[in-house]
Chain A
Amino acid sequence: GAVVSQHPSWVICKSGTSVKIECRSLDFQATTMFWYRQFPKQSLMLMATSNEGSKATYEQGVEKDKFLINHASLTLSTLTVTSAHPEDSSFYICSARGRDRDLNYGYTFGSGTRLTVV
């Protein structure tokens, strides 16, 4: 089946530093990648949508200069949290969509990254 590998699974960083999160589709080509943010006991909030080779589309209220998304290839998308602050501490998870919509009905999730900014 389709697998999306997300790394790191958890990270602790100092305030003011940047953190990069990677999502790789291992056995399919991810034409679209969705990035979500989730606070404890809350829903998954869509941050942005990226299509391979083009700029990401950000949801309203999400700072594109703070959350940099790159989707340079069909198997790799990255989310960089720049100048991280404690309020950016959250669970970040990606979801990949490939050409074959029969795979998980079109959506394969990474395992998530728990970011803690101290």
Chain B
Amino acid sequence: AQKITQTQPGMFVQEKEAVTLDCTYDTSDQSYGLFWYKQPSSGEMIFLIYQGSYDEQNATEGRYSLNFQKARKSANLVISASQLGDSAMYFCAMTVYGSSNTGKLIFGQGTTLQVKP
């Protein structure tokens, strides 16, 4: 069974600084995908970044980068140059592509990020 863990319920960051949101995962499958989503107070799920288990390079998308450490089973999200609009809840999620593939996307507990002016 797959499991995602986010241990930081809440985080504060000063505007323009960088922040790292932690995510660890557990699966016995070798082929899997890791996602980060942003959920503002409106509730919509905004896709931020994706990392495949076989991708050798860490994923980057603008100010977002994913620090993928496969041996440690961690997929931390780094947001550089934080903006006030980054204040939201952030979720790490995972799906597996191997023999136990059901297509399910399983989410971590979430981290609420607040950016201070």
39-60 of chain A: CB within 8 A of chain B: 41-46, 49, 57
**Is the C-beta of B68 less than 8 angstroms from some C-beta in chain A?**
no
Q: CB distance B103 to A32 under 8 Å?
A: yes
Question: Of the 9-residue stretches A16-24, A79-87, A107-115, which lies at the interface with chain B?
Answer: A107-115
In the assembled complex, how far is the CB of residue B6 from the closest CB belonging to chain A, in whole angstroms? Answer: 8
Query: B47 contacts which chain A residues (CB < 8 A)?
Result: 104-105, 107
Chain A interface size band reads 20 to 34
Q: How far is the CA of A61 from the CA of B39 in the complex (A)?
A: 25
Number of interface residues of B (CB under 8 A): 21
What's the least CB distance linking A24 to chain B, in Å?
16
A-B contact count (CB 8 A): 53
- Cβ contact within 8 Å between B110 and A49: no
Q: Check if A105 sits within 8 Å of B33, measured CB to CB.
A: yes
Question: Is the CB–CB distance between A49 and B103 below 8 Å?
Answer: yes
Contact A93 B110 (CB under 8 A): no
Is A75 part of the contact surface with B, judged by Cβ < 8 Å?
no
Q: Identify which of B42, B103, B106, B112 gathers the most chain A CB atoms within 10 Å of its CB.
A: B103
> CB-defined interface of B3-37 with A at 8 Å, one 1/0 digit per residue?
00000000000000000000000000000010100
Any chain B CB within 8 A of the CB of A95?
yes
Q: Does A91 make an interface contact (CB < 8 A)?
A: yes
B56 in contact (CB, < 8 A)? no
B43, B103, B107: which contacts A112 (Cβ < 8 A)?
A: B43
Q: Is B116 an interface residue (CB 8 A)?
A: no
- Distance from A95 Cβ to chain B, minimum over Cβ atoms (Å): 6
A71 interface residue per 8 A CB criterion: no
Docked-complex contact B109 and A42, CB < 8 angstroms = yes
- Per-residue A-contact encoding for B22-66, CB less than 8 Å = 1, 0 else: 000000000001010000001111010010000000000000000
Expressed in whole angstroms, the minimum distance between the Cβ of B70 and any Cβ of chain A is 18
- Closest A residue to B102 by beta carbon equals A49
Can you identify 6 A-B contacts, CB atoms within 8 angstroms?
A42-B110, A43-B110, A97-B103, A104-B47, A106-B103, A114-B43
Residues of A within 8 A of B (CB): 32, 34, 38, 41-46, 49, 57, 91, 93, 95, 97, 104-107, 109, 111-112, 114
